[in-house]
Amino acid sequence: MLSVSTFLSEVRETLIPSREGKDGPLPPLLVAMTLVTGLVDAFSYLVLGHVFVANMTGNVLFIAFALAGAQGFSVASSLIALCAFAVGSLTGGLLGSRLGDNRGRLLWTATGVQALFLGLAAGLSVLAGSPVPAGYGYALIVALGISMGVQNATARKLAVPDLTTTVLTLTITGMVADSRLAGGAGSKAGRRLVSVLAMFAGALIGVLAILYVYSVYPLLLAFVVIALVSLTGRVLSVKRSAWVGK
């Protein structure tokens, strides 16, 4: 019973944290950003042709698949995604270096930049139509890759445990390897499972929208979510709290 109580407490603290806590409102905002990862990667993989704009591990493998002659994979698309993500990470890193002492300001500034690129991508998607021509496809990969690079670098600088917003491999490993069953002190399974489910939900919503409604909807929803995260971060960081920093 205690383990169940601890699990539910971790879920609650992730989704409805105390504003006076160490990370304040950051956990649910980062969960929302994790949802965005699922949305944009669903779009990029299904609409832009077997390429990820958030999860770079997949692109490294896709380049190897393409070089080996596997059908449906593009060296150019995956390389462009990697380069765009690196540019976005550099941008996020620069913002982190200049604004990192104030986590609230860093959050709303970085997500504001991210929202601009997501909005650009949504507009390009509308103009491109379906199927997406190669030129538009590369432009979309660049815009989305930069956007997700900014997000990943920002989440890294904010440094909220188990909420990286993009990479789930270590999160899932921790759920099992740190569990009491494995002899660990506790896996923080509640928070980690919320992160996994957020990305799953984003991907599921994105795929359903693409298959049954309109392919641009995942990008529009991602834009709205990130814009709301930026606005919320700005409003909540006006009042100095422990989570904001200096």
Q: Give residue-wise pLDDT tens across range 80-101.
A: 999 999 999 999 999 999 998 8
How would you label 65-90 residue by residue, b for 16+ Cβ within 10 Å and e otherwise?
A: bbeeeeeebbeebbbbbbebbeebbe
Q: Give residue-wise pLDDT tens across range 25-72.
A: 999 999 999 999 999 999 999 999 999 999 999 999 999 999 999 999
Q: Is the pLDDT of residue 125 over 50?
A: yes
CATH code for the domain defined by 22-235: 1.20.1250
Q: Give residue-wise pLDDT tens across range 168-218.
A: 877 777 777 776 666 666 667 888 899 999 999 999 999 999 999 999 999
pTM of the predicted structure, to 2 decimals: 0.93
Q: Where are the domains of the chain?
A: 22-235
